[in-house]
A = this chain, B = another copy of it.
Amino acid sequence: MQTIVPDHDKKNWICVIGPYAKPIARIKPGETVELQTMDAFGNEIHSESQTLTDIVQMPFVNPMTGPFYIEGAETGDMLSVKIEQVEIARDFGISAIIPDFGGVCGTSWTRTLNDPLKARIFKHKINGDLITWGQGLDIPKIPIEPFYGTIGTSPSLEAISTLSPGFHGGNMDDPDVCPGNTVYLPVEVPGVLFCIGDGHARQGDAEVSGSAIEVSTRGVLTFNLIKKHPIRTPRIENDEYIMTVGSARPMEDAARIAFYELILWLEADYGIERIAAYQLCSHVAKVRLANMVDTLYSVSAKFPKEFLPIKRR
């Protein structure tokens, strides 16, 4: 099993997902690899007394491990990535209030004349599977629920900031990109050029402040190719759900994309005519608001497998 390590030299950080970076690893379909990831701050924060604005200098944030070249992959294939394991690689996590970034404040896009919120770093001790949240709060320890905030494949022409989610995956911040689940991504360039990073020890729906409990990780992934199976937007699957992720602004457009793709998937693979699928989703689907803070918002529409047609499952 090959082990892939990110480049820790800030000059070479991969902070965009696109076709212009040279692959750092070659992977065969069916192969399982081990990899390390830096946290969204490039592992540069270790204390609450550091000065956040010295460290976070947009767009040089959220460095990826990658790109990986998947052998034999061609435009129009679908990449399958089984998340086997996400292990937290250190004994603390970091979260932050980043001025002009977040879900309940003025931002670079929702521009306001109000004074920005003040930068602030939170350090959270992690001991085994439990997080001590800190700040003197009298609350119980919080179990970890680790996953990757960012996972994506190269678009054909664009190079997209690792702060952005989109049709290519990217910074979706969807807690369903977690151990046990399989993520399906579009292949738009030969070799895929897959990137991953942004480990989260735990995140609430919406990632409302703009940061999860950010950690470096060691993970294990298994890659496969489904040939000639173009998809427009990421899909996720586990024992309970088939899921689609839409990323857009306003948030209703993210939800529209997610449901549209889920409905067409139910039609194509499970034989439920699309208007019936639309109505059925209205009665049994679940929705996860993955993020409401990134350049695009991400919404996941989830169909429970227990209500799929019995013979087609």
Residues of A within 8 A of B (CB): 15-16, 18, 20, 59-60, 95, 97, 102-106, 109-117, 120, 122, 131, 133, 135, 137-140, 142, 155-161, 202-213, 246, 248-253, 255-257, 259-261, 263, 272, 274-276, 278-289, 292, 297, 299, 301, 306-312
The answer to whether A280 touches B133, judged by C-beta atoms less than 8 angstroms apart, is yes
Q: What separation, in Å, do the CA atoms of A301 and B208 have in the docked complex?
A: 10
Q: What separation, in Å, do the CA atoms of A120 and B273 have in the docked complex?
A: 14
Q: Which chain B residue shows the least CB distance to A200?
A: B283
20 contacts between A and B (CB under 8 A): A16-B157, A20-B159, A59-B155, A59-B158, A97-B278, A97-B279, A104-B112, A105-B106, A110-B110, A111-B260, A131-B283, A137-B272, A142-B284, A158-B158, A158-B160, A204-B282, A208-B282, A209-B282, A250-B251, A251-B255
Known: A104-B259, A133-B283, A207-B282. 11 other contacts (CB 8 A): A18-B159, A20-B159, A97-B278, A103-B256, A105-B106, A111-B253, A111-B257, A138-B312, A139-B280, A204-B285, A212-B283
Q: Which chain B residue shows the least CB distance to A233?
A: B111
* Chain B residues in 8 Å Cβ range of A309: 137-139
The answer to whether A285 touches B206, judged by C-beta atoms less than 8 angstroms apart, is yes
Given A106-B106, A114-B117, A206 and B255 contact (CB-CB distance below 8 Å): yes
The answer to whether A282 touches B95, judged by C-beta atoms less than 8 angstroms apart, is yes
Q: What separation, in Å, do the CA atoms of A285 and B290 have in the docked complex?
A: 11
Q: What separation, in Å, do the CA atoms of A311 and B211 have in the docked complex?
A: 27
Q: What separation, in Å, do the CA atoms of A246 and B160 have in the docked complex?
A: 20
Given A159-B157, A284-B202, A109 and B310 contact (CB-CB distance below 8 Å): no
Report the 5 A-B pairs with minimum CB-CB distance, sorted nearest first. Answer: A250-B250, A251-B251, A209-B282, A114-B114, A204-B285
The answer to whether B112 touches A105, judged by C-beta atoms less than 8 angstroms apart, is yes
* Chain B residues in 8 Å Cβ range of A120: 275
* Chain B residues in 8 Å Cβ range of A275: 97, 113, 117, 120
CB distance from A106 to the nearest CB of B (A): 6
* Chain B residues in 8 Å Cβ range of A111: 104, 246, 253, 256-257, 259-261
Q: What separation, in Å, do the CA atoms of A288 and B206 have in the docked complex?
A: 10
CB distance from A285 to the nearest CB of B (A): 4
* Chain B residues in 8 Å Cβ range of A257: 109, 111
Given A158-B16, A159-B20, A289-B287, A281 and B249 contact (CB-CB distance below 8 Å): no
Given A250-B251, A289-B299, A308-B139, A158 and B161 contact (CB-CB distance below 8 Å): yes
* Chain B residues in 8 Å Cβ range of A208: 255, 259, 278, 281-282, 285, 301
* Chain B residues in 8 Å Cβ range of A282: 95, 203-204, 206-212
The answer to whether B122 touches A279, judged by C-beta atoms less than 8 angstroms apart, is yes
Q: Which chain B residue shows the least CB distance to A60?
A: B157
* Chain B residues in 8 Å Cβ range of A248: 109, 249
Q: Which of B114, B213, B263 contacts A106 (CB 8 A)?
A: B114
